[in-house]
């Protein structure tokens, strides 16, 4: 056994980095998108928002939040009517290192 293997002694959860989230957005959206907000703190990426154009020509937002208001790490979809958000729902939740579909 290799004693040089790093351990997670603090039990801290590993969250996805920016590249991993952008790759997930590419997979979810399947078309071009624009990053509209990127927030980092001492623990890494805490929020990343993107906008894409949906099949109907309307804007669709996708938001990553590490530890949202309910305590979970999530990706939400936000629908727009013109420039006004008009609905949305959770798409995925990050649980024990794995993305789980919420939709």
Q: Residue 59: what pLDDT?
A: 95
Encode pLDDT of 12-35 as tens digits.
Answer: 668 899 999 999 999 999 999 999
- Is residue 98 within 8 Å of residue 92, measured between CB atoms? no
3 belongs to a structural domain? no
Is residue 69 in some structural domain? yes
4 falls within a domain: no
What pTM value is reported for the model?
0.82
Q: Which domain holds residue 84?
A: 18-101
SS3 7: coil
- Give the pLDDT band (50/70/90) at residue 43: confident
* Residue 85: per-residue pLDDT: 93
Q: pLDDT tens-digit profile of 44-62? A: 899 999 999 988 888 999 9
Domain tally, the chain: 1
Buried b (16+ CB within 10 A) or exposed e, 4-34: eeeeeeeeeeebbeeeebbebbeebbeeebe
- Token output for 5: 């293997």
């Amino acid at each position: 056994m290799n004693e040089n293997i790093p351990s997670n002694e603090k039990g801290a959860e590993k969250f996805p980095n920016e590249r991993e989230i952008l790759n997930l957005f590419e997979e979810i959206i399947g078309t071009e998108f624009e990053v509209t907000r990127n927030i980092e703190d001492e623990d890494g990426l805490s929020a990343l928002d993107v906008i894409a154009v949906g099949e109907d020509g309307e804007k669709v937002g996708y938001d990553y939040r590490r530890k949202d208001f309910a305590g979970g790490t999530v990706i939400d979809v936000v629908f727009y009517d013109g420039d006004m958000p008009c609905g949305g729902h959770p798409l995925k939740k990050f649980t024990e290192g794995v993305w789980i579909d919420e939709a």
